[in-house]
Amino acid sequence: MTSRPTASAAPGRARPGAGAAPSSDAGAALPTLLFAGVADDLTGGIELASLMVRGGVAARLLTARGTTADIGDAPATVIGLKVRVAPKASAVAAVRRALAVLAPRSPRQIFQKYCATFDSTPRGNIGPIADVLMAATGAPFTAFCPAFPEVDRTVYAGHLFAIDQLISRSPKRHDPLTPMREPDLVRVLAAQTAETVGLIRHQVLAAGPEAVAAKVAALTAAGVRYAISDAVDEADLACLAAASVDWRLMTGGSSVAVYYPDLWRARGDLAGFAPPAPLPRVEGRAAVIAGSCAERTAAQLAAFAETGRPVIHLEAAALVDPAQAAAATDAALAAAIAVLPSGPVAVATTADPAAVAAVQARAGVKRTAAAIEQALGRIAAGLAQAGVTRFVIAGGETSGAVLDALGVRALEVGSFEAPGLSRAVSTGPTPISLHLKSGKLGPVDMFARALAEG
């Protein structure tokens, strides 16, 4: 992505300390965070944080276990939650806990991060989470822009496209957890919130940040506080970033936030902050944990197997059966540990959508997902006890389950390399190297490449 920032004033200009509820510790003198991301899964969180690092801004990634003390002295922090498919009440509660962690650092802006395919349903969490963040920040307006043109995810006339197809005609319509069957994002978001949802069209973005500010002012005057934003290319994203850089709340994909560091630098906002430090190399045994059903993850597992390394498959049907789950999990863990002395191993529950759908039809979507995550979390913890210190984890929900099982609270993040390629190292006395990737992203040979990096 090539930055083309242009400074612009905008409604809801943030002041230091305006981005979160005041700290309950009135005597605290903690430095203000320039930027705080709240991501609905860990893979989205590491992508957002790593793009900050690529822009020259040190950033730390916290899990749901993280505390204010884990934030450190970086100007940017991202909290990666595990709420994309959680019930609304659970998702809202998790976001409120994240806000409590961030509040003592009074972030100037909060950024709600979600997937480039706006993964959600009429019962989804993007709207409810935005409602909570709007109330916490006091923002008068925010925009929603999931577009990621670099991976051919664009929004035009409020409709989401995957390459040249409406998202509702793409393979995403078969997603086992969040099937996208409605391409009009105005309608998708309106089903999740009581707020009226407007639209910022491509033609407005093409006219520049001042035109966006005028459109936002008109929408706000009409009582509209939310708007889907088109974005068909990088110029649209750069314009939206310039228009929103001072908003108390912004939402979207990391493709919008990638333009903020240059804007901050041009204004001197990064003065006094140390640049990101290189991540240390971590030695030790290595493993891949894959819970995604995406075609890309299946191809990556096949490529990993072609290198001569074993891929141990867990059947979802066994994991949802109480009589088989424990034995199946223990057998997979034992098989993985047995081959570790000779090199990396992969453990996967990946299956084609039809097979997953068949299990879900019998056991239910939530029960199936929970069973898979519990099994992979147990296996990851067992592998760590067997000396694995380097993991590649495929799938946002899987990443959350594994990091929780490993007890990780915070991670130092490396620079973004490409979609699906981000590395982090856990803080604490025993560092663990982690590549957290979306199931849909990354080159076919990324598992072997990532493990070679340490």
Instruction: List the chain domain ranges.
Output: 35-267, 285-452
Q: What b/e string do you get for 214-227 counting C-beta neighbours within 10 Å, with b at 16 or more?
A: ebbeebbeeebbbb
The CATH architecture one would assign to domain 35-267 is 3-Layer(aba) Sandwich (3.40)
* pLDDT score at 14: 44
Question: For tokens 């912004």, what's the residue?
Answer: 250
pTM: 0.85
The helix/strand/coil state of 272 is coil
- CATH superfamily, with its number, for domain 285-452: Four-carbon acid sugar kinase, nucleotide binding domain (3.40.980.20)
Side chain identity at 243, as an amino acid letter? A
* pLDDT score at 421: 74
* pLDDT score at 48: 95
* pLDDT score at 400: 85
Q: What b/e string do you get for 102-130 counting C-beta neighbours within 10 Å, with b at 16 or more?
A: bbbbbbbbbbbbbbbbbbbbeebbbbbbb
CA 206 to CA 137: how far, in whole Å? 29
Q: Which helix (H) or strand (E) holds 317?
A: helix 316-319
* pLDDT score at 153: 93
The helix/strand/coil state of 40 is coil
Phi-psi region of 251 (alpha: psi -120 to 50; beta: other; left: phi over 0): beta
For strands 433-437 and 59-62, give the pairing.
unpaired
* pLDDT score at 336: 96
* pLDDT score at 233: 97
* pLDDT score at 382: 97
Sign of CA dihedral 195, 201, 202, 204: negative
* pLDDT score at 436: 85
Residues in the chain with pLDDT < 70? Answer: 1-29, 176, 350-352, 420, 454
CA 328 to CA 324: how far, in whole Å? 6
CA 438 to CA 47: how far, in whole Å? 9
* pLDDT score at 195: 97
Residue 127 tokens, joined: 């709207």
Strand arrangement of the beta sheet that strand 153-156 belongs to: 153-156, 159-162, 165-166
